[in-house]
A and B are shown apart, each in its own frame.
Chain A
Amino acid sequence: MNQFQYVRATKPQGAIDAVAKDPTAKFIAGGTNLVDLMKRGIMTPQKLVDINRLPLAKIERQDKGLRLGALALNSAVANDALVRQHQPLLALALNAGASPQLRNMATVGGNMLQRTRCSYFYDLTMPCNKREPGSGCGALEGINRMHAIFGASDKCIAVHPSDMSVALVALDATVLVSGPKGDRRIAFADFHRLPGDTPEKDTNLEAGELITAVDIPDGPFTKHVHYQKVRERASYAFALVSTAAALDLDGNTIKAARLAMGGVAHKPWRLTAAEQSLVGQPATEASFRRAAEVAMQGAKAFKHNAYKLKLGPNTIVQALRTAAAA
């Protein structure tokens, strides 16, 4: 691993200043992805600013929602009574991700900022525009079984690996950040980016900006929710495809729906049109199947991931079916 300078921040502003003035510096919180990437030489920060001592780990009630501190651990959020009561979909998504040990280390902010697990991003001997802009995409004509079916570009077809983020985008969360130019709020759907011509940028965070919290507005989605994750073993694997589904039912009629997919795009993939197709419909197999068809419009497979064109809609239907029965 490369040498680096280590500093421990005691105040958010100190951490922001340290990273803003040094382009080779990175924040470190749980470290579960960054340490992995540093060991492999994929990321080589010259300075690490340890933010674990910052007072940003609270999970609390706000006027009209929940606020998750950026340093709240994934396990703490998943087990939190307020989260389970008000946003059970988030708890389900978190518990579908990683392992108990990793959830005890990984934070809310770090989970959002984890890098893709595309095998070409991880293989230093292969080209990757995300790792080394301009070097090409190894996955485009390579083994692309795990890759995107939505929103890809000819520069990058990687997918975002977070489960938590799929739930948060479905739940209309907002990301709170502080940076050299002050504080701002970013809608969760606008936080991650599509690859376009700049796949090296995963998010719309600017240099030195620090995630401080995530706000989730209260909603009616406290009962009929499900996170359906399909993976190649029963647990502790990244999603082939996943779906976060939340329904607000009046009897058997759908009053409102939230849907998002993971494992299909460079960002957590909100399915707004499919949600709209469900409103006013009965919570039946036929409605779910129609929503899944709407959801898959515009999907495009590569050589090895055409299975996602079938697995995707099936996962959506299964998620909706389970949510309705919950």
Chain B
Amino acid sequence: MNAEPEQASPHDDSRRTFLKQSSVLTAMALVPSPVVTAAAAELDEKVAAAFEKIPLSLKVNGTKHKLQVEPRTTLLDLLREQLHLTGTKKGCDYGQCGACTVHVDGQRVNSCLSFAVMHDGQEITTIEGLAKGDDLHPMQEAFVKHDGFQCGYCTPGQIMSAVACVREGHAGSEGEIREYMSGNICRCGAYSNIVAAIQDVKQGGQKV
């Protein structure tokens, strides 16, 4: 899938068919054998229904998508695996690290702890949606300026959370920033520089 050209639209029929087939195959491969056995013996309608894909409309970074998803697909997996927006990271996958932070209708959330189907009709912003063309978002610029990262893995989540932190009005002091950024863990320990970046943006008064 990585070999596909960047320009290929996720709406593209051949891609959608391919994704549909490949995710069904993946699902089949993951079904524990007792369930498959039960399904074969009883034609359990619940198991059959669970395989059905559900239509889903989402606006992601300003682009509308009409998708078909398995109910158990998380918003994070949808963004990464179906829409190929891999900026949003899978860290712990249990809501403990914040690497998967995105904005849903303007509010920051952990995309790993939410099923994509629950977001029908909503607007998602990921790290890819912050910059305007080649112009970085002020928070992205500040993270570069203040060295707000080392390995960079938590950075997309940190930046999405930082933008929300300022928008919410929770960047009034170092203490408040640290409290309201506590849902984003950085194993490299770039916290001081992350706080400095957020303070810079807040004090700069730029629109975020």
Contact = CB atoms under 8 A, between A and B. Distances in A.
Partners in one complex: yes
Interface of A: 1-6, 8, 24, 28, 30-32, 35-36, 38-40, 46-48, 50, 52, 75, 98-102, 104-105, 234-236
Nearest to A29: B118
Main secondary structure of the interface of B (DSSP, over half): mixed
A299 B204 CA distance: 53
B126 to A, nearest CB: 14
A38 B72 CA distance: 10
Interface string B101-137: 1000001111011110110100000000000000000
Contact of B51 (A3, A8, A46): A3
B27 interface: yes
B117 A6 contact: yes
Given A39-B93, A50-B118, A234-B178, A3 B31 contact: yes
A210 B172 CA distance: 39
A100 B94 CA distance: 15
A6 B54 contact: yes
Interface residues of B, number: 39
13 contacts: A4-B72, A5-B71, A6-B115, A28-B118, A32-B110, A35-B112, A35-B113, A36-B94, A50-B117, A98-B183, A101-B109, A105-B110, A236-B182
A306 B47 CA distance: 48
A3 B47 contact: yes
A105 B114 contact: yes
Interface of B: 27, 31, 35, 46-47, 49-51, 54, 71-72, 74, 93-95, 98, 101, 107-110, 112-115, 117-118, 120, 161, 164-165, 168, 170, 178-180, 182-184
Given A100-B168, A236-B183, A47 B46 contact: yes
B182 A234 contact: yes
